[in-house]
Amino acid sequence: MQDLPPPVPHRARFLAYYQKHEVTVSAAVFFGGFIFDLLTLGRVDDLFNLIQQALYLIILGTLLVCEIKIKMGTLTLGGKAAKFWEYHDLIVHFIFGSLLSVYTIFYYTSASAITGILFILLIAGLMCANEFPQFQKLGLPVRVILYAICTLSYFSFFFPILMGHVGWLPFWLGILSSIAVFTLIGKVNFKGERSPILEKQVLRPAVAIHVLFLVGYYLSLIPPVPVAVKKIGVYYAVQKVDGKYLGSHLRPWYKFWQKGSQDFMVRPGDKLTVLASIFSPSNFHDKVFLRWYHDDPKQGWRLEDTIPLSILGGRDEGFRGFGTKQFYGLGDWKVIVETSDGREVGRISFEVETDESPDVREFKNDVF
């Protein structure tokens, strides 16, 4: 009787499958991390989320240090550590998928201008490109870049939440904290060591990302997380009833995509009122500005007025506020909502035309 071959251990079978289908498995794990955070994601100021992200960054930093040392030849793994290292890519992919999904979602909710959307596309593009073999072959520099983006993003959310406002000071504290993290990693693990790997594949990519974040901030490319416009519209009048804000509009039912009356037909005495619901974390005290622009036929877009709104955080649906303009001209208008440090967080465009109809107007209300 012929002997049967010994059964292949589950670990060996999984490892063989993983090595054969590495891209597919890595992509599945990466998007598993993405879906996991989509299902569990809470508010940007949720303490559990902040602690979870910090733990993820610590785990990623530890694995990154091990990868650098292995590549430099200063660390050799054996026994159980070597067996674990065969699967460490899966952990890295899951955590990067989780973190980048969080930051993409939070940036997206705060983005308004085309520049902000471009930043979101960059993050999302890196997130997806990380799953292509050509991108993965770049190896260590790519992981350093992704880790720097995640670290900078974490601190760019953390300090505005902690301090209760956005601005240059929370942003710079975030930049300096991220630099401190990389410096601490270097001092603790690579003190006195000189290697082309450290300089070319770690230091240069990390410095480049920090410089790009600085440039992005001062060019208003980075969305002003944690502030986000939840809802905005233009109305004939706004009144508060039973704790709710009602915006009066004449929008026909078939223009369901409009926000208020974006085809604004005016009669003598009508006012333009922009009503917005703006989310910010608990204990958040800051200002936003409604900047009113009119498209002058001869001079183009001109700033006509700036109305400040003080916002208080904590309400899930956002803090409600509005600005009214009594004197205005016909034509195209846009109102841009800007944070106190000049970054756009929302906008609305509308056209003002003369209403010559004698019919009685029947107003409807949007509820904020």
Each residue's pLDDT tens digit, 338-351: 999 999 999 999 99
Domain boundary at 186, 218, 250, which? 218
Cα 327 to chain centroid, rounded: 37
Closest by CA position to 56, among listed 14, 4, 97, 117: 97
What pTM was computed for the model? Answer: 0.78
246 and 210 in one domain?
no
40 and 189 in one domain?
yes
200 and 236 in one domain?
no
241 and 99 in one domain?
no
192 and 82 in one domain?
yes
Reported as a pLDDT band with limits 50, 70 and 90, residue 27 is low
What pLDDT, on the 0 to 100 scale, is given for residue 95?
87
pLDDT in tens, 223-261: 888 998 989 999 999 999 999 999 999 999 999 999 999
pLDDT in tens, 179-227: 999 999 999 988 878 888 888 889 999 999 999 999 989 988 888 889 9
Token look-up 């550590």 returns 81
Q: How far apart are CA 347 and CA 337, in angstroms?
A: 6
pLDDT of 38 higher than 80: no
232 and 177 in one domain?
no
Is the distance from CB of 44 to CB of 154 less than 8 angstroms?
no
Please state the domain count of the chain. Answer: 2
Q: How far apart are CA 63 and CA 56, in angstroms?
A: 11
Mean pLDDT score of the chain: 85
pLDDT in tens, 40-95: 667 888 888 899 999 999 999 999 999 999 888 888 888 888 888 887 888 888 88
Reported as a pLDDT band with limits 50, 70 and 90, residue 131 is low
Q: How far apart are CA 352 and CA 26, in angstroms?
A: 53
Q: Sign (positive/negative) of CA torsion 148, 204, 141, 77?
A: negative
DSSP per-residue string spanning 13-62: HHHHHHHHTHHHHHHHHHHHHHHHHHHH---TT-HHHHHHHHHHHHHHHH
- H or E element that contains 276: strand 272-279
Q: Which domain holds residue 68?
A: 10-218
207 and 121 in one domain?
yes
Q: How far apart are CA 247 and CA 162, in angstroms?
A: 33
Domain boundary at 218, 247, 263, which? 218
206 and 297 in one domain?
no
Residue 324 belongs to some domain of the structure: yes
277 and 206 in one domain?
no
Q: How far apart are CA 36 and CA 130, in angstroms?
A: 18
Residue 223 belongs to some domain of the structure: no
Is the distance from CB of 110 to CB of 68 less than 8 angstroms?
no
What pLDDT, on the 0 to 100 scale, is given for residue 194?
81
Top-confidence residue, 57 or 108: 57
Which residues, listed in sequence order, are joined to residue 321 by a DSSP beta bridge? 276
What pLDDT, on the 0 to 100 scale, is given for residue 17?
57
User: Which of 14-23, 38-47, 80-89, 165-174 comes out lowest in average pLDDT?
Assistant: 14-23
Top-confidence residue, 71 or 267: 267
What pLDDT, on the 0 to 100 scale, is given for residue 91?
85
- H or E element that contains 228: strand 228-235
273 and 125 in one domain?
no
193 and 50 in one domain?
yes
Give start and end residues of each alpha helix (H) in the chain. 10-20, 22-40, 47-72, 79-85, 88-110, 114-129, 133-136, 140-163, 168-190, 196, 204-218
Domain boundary at 218, 236, 259, which? 218
Residue 239 belongs to some domain of the structure: yes
344 and 286 in one domain?
yes
Residue 199 belongs to some domain of the structure: yes
Is the distance from CB of 283 to CB of 162 less than 8 angstroms?
no
Residue 58 belongs to some domain of the structure: yes
